[in-house]
Amino acid sequence: MDNLNIATVYTGNNCTGEPIMIPVMPIRPELARAYVPYQLYNKIFSPQESLKKGTVFPELVK
Amino acid sequence: MWFYDKKTQYPIKITKPDPRMAIAILTQYGGPNGELAASLRYLSQRFSMPTKEAKATLNDIGTEELAHLEMIGTMVHQLMDKVPPKELEKLHVDTNYVIHGRAVYPSDSNGVPFTAAYIESMEDPIANLNEDLAAEEKARATYDYLINIADDPDVIDPLRFLREREVVHYQRFGETLRIVQETMGRKKFY
Amino acid sequence: MDEQTTLLEQIMAYDFALYDLQLFLNTHPSDTNALRDYKMALEQSENLRRQYQSKYGPLTARYLPNTTCWQWINDPWPWNNKEV
């Protein structure tokens, strides 16, 4: 999980706006705030498999 | 605005009528944690979303919920279609029949009609997104309960699909909340 | 399963994958891998739609396969169970 804390996601759109850097989990989380880990892009299911599973993302099958 | 695509998001072909299951599933049409409430919640909240990522997320999940409303309506319809009234009486779903016939009406499983009191829409995007996370989790729990009482794979498969969509939406709302927290923390709005 | 249903379910699969990627891209708009997969699925979906509509009629009202008959109203609608 340690390396996940360092990984960042650039959510800003390169084409139209200033990128915002968001770590997978906040580096300095605040009290009284809810945080969901930011997803990183990995392998995805085939379209047929996706429809069966309800998502293209294997790591979101829960 | 919207354009209609002449297909359901996930295939639905129920060949075995089951009026009791129809009434159980009906709560996802017009009940407190149903797809109509979900769609109206997100499509109303999107007007006060502060970032472009948040506007797109609320707009597109709100739109997908309409496709889910159609799936649920299709299931209720196919489970009730052409079942003789006497059969409905035997199965104790005749109170619904004497009010609506075998039509699809937005209420919960107890017949309580849909109400906008099920949803909230506030100017504060953090409050809205926390509600949305809770709403997805409550819908996911409802699908778990429905799957527990279903036994026909033609009913279970679309319910499993819809349940998984709640998990994916939870993740997207969570990411949207992270973006809004980041940008509001910097006192910067788009 | 008949040929029409098979083709329609293929379109459902591609359109569904596209929608899930769309939601991902809304919160990851600079993810070039997701953009690449989106483009591939989009091309496939458009091919399959063209095939389907030329054989079985419109999936959207903004499509006119012939000028003698308005085929948009034709059954089956998505909530109809063809086998019942």
Q: Is residue B75 part of a domain?
A: yes
Q: What letter would DSSP give residue A27?
A: S
Give the integer Cα–Cα distance in Å for B96 and C22.
39
Q: How does pLDDT run across B119-175, given as a tens digit for each residue?
A: 999 999 999 999 999 999 999 999 999 999 999 999 999 999 999 999 999 999 999
Give the integer Cα–Cα distance in Å for B185 and B177.
12
Tally of residues, chain A: 62
Check C77 against B6: CB less than 8 A apart: yes
| Chain C residues with CB-CB distance to B4 below 8 A | 60-61
Please determine, for residue C14, whether its predicted confidence score (pLDDT) is greater than 60.
yes
Q: Give residue B189's pLDDT band: very low, low, confident or very high (50, 70, 90).
A: very low
Percent residues over pLDDT 90 in chain A: 63
Q: Is residue B8 part of a domain?
A: no
CATH assignment at residue B85: 1.20.1260.10
Q: What is the pLDDT of residue B78?
A: 98
| Chain C residues with CB-CB distance to A11 below 8 A | 27-30
Q: Is residue B2 part of a domain?
A: no
Q: Give residue B187's pLDDT band: very low, low, confident or very high (50, 70, 90).
A: low
Sorted by where each begins, the domain ranges of chain C are: 3-73
Q: What is the pLDDT of residue C82?
A: 66
| Chain C residues with CB-CB distance to B56 below 8 A | 26
Closest-approach residue (CA) in chain B for C72: B6
Q: How many CB atoms lie within 10 A of CB B158?
A: 26
Range of the domain at B177: 19-114+122-185
A18 vs B87, higher pLDDT: B87
Q: Is residue B45 part of a domain?
A: yes
Give the integer Cα–Cα distance in Å for B124 and B78.
41
List the beta strands (DSSP E) in chain B.
none
Closest-approach residue (CA) in chain B for C24: B172
Question: How many CA atoms lie within 13 Å of B62's alpha carbon, on the beta-carbon side?
Answer: 18
Q: Is residue B1 part of a domain?
A: no
Q: Give residue A11's pLDDT band: very low, low, confident or very high (50, 70, 90).
A: confident
Q: Does A29 touch chain C (CB under 8 A)?
A: no
Q: Give residue B7's pLDDT band: very low, low, confident or very high (50, 70, 90).
A: very high
Distance of CA B139 to the CA centre of its chain: 7
**Inter-residue contact B23 to B94 (CB < 8 Å):** no
Q: Is residue B35 part of a domain?
A: yes
Q: Is residue B10 part of a domain?
A: no
Looking at the 3D structure of chain B, how many domains does it have? Answer: 1
Query: What are the DSSP calls for B93-147, one per residue?
Result: -HHHHHHHTT---SB-TT-PBP-GGG----S-HHHHHHHHHHHHHHHHHHHHHHH
**What subunits make at least 3 CB pairs under 8 angstroms with A?**
B, C
Q: What is the pLDDT of residue B183?
A: 87
Please determine, for residue B79, whether its predicted confidence score (pLDDT) is greater than 60.
yes
Q: How many CB atoms lie within 10 A of CB B55?
A: 17
Residues of B with CB under 8 A from a CB of A: 10, 52-53, 130, 133, 160-165, 167-168, 170-171, 173-175, 177-179, 181-183, 190
Q: What is the pLDDT of residue B153?
A: 98
* Residue (of A45, A20, A27) closest to B168 by Cα position: A45
Q: Is residue B12 part of a domain?
A: no
Q: How does pLDDT run across C46-69, given as a tens digit for each residue?
A: 999 999 999 999 999 999 888 899
Q: Give residue B23's pLDDT band: very low, low, confident or very high (50, 70, 90).
A: very high
Q: What is the pLDDT of residue A2?
A: 47
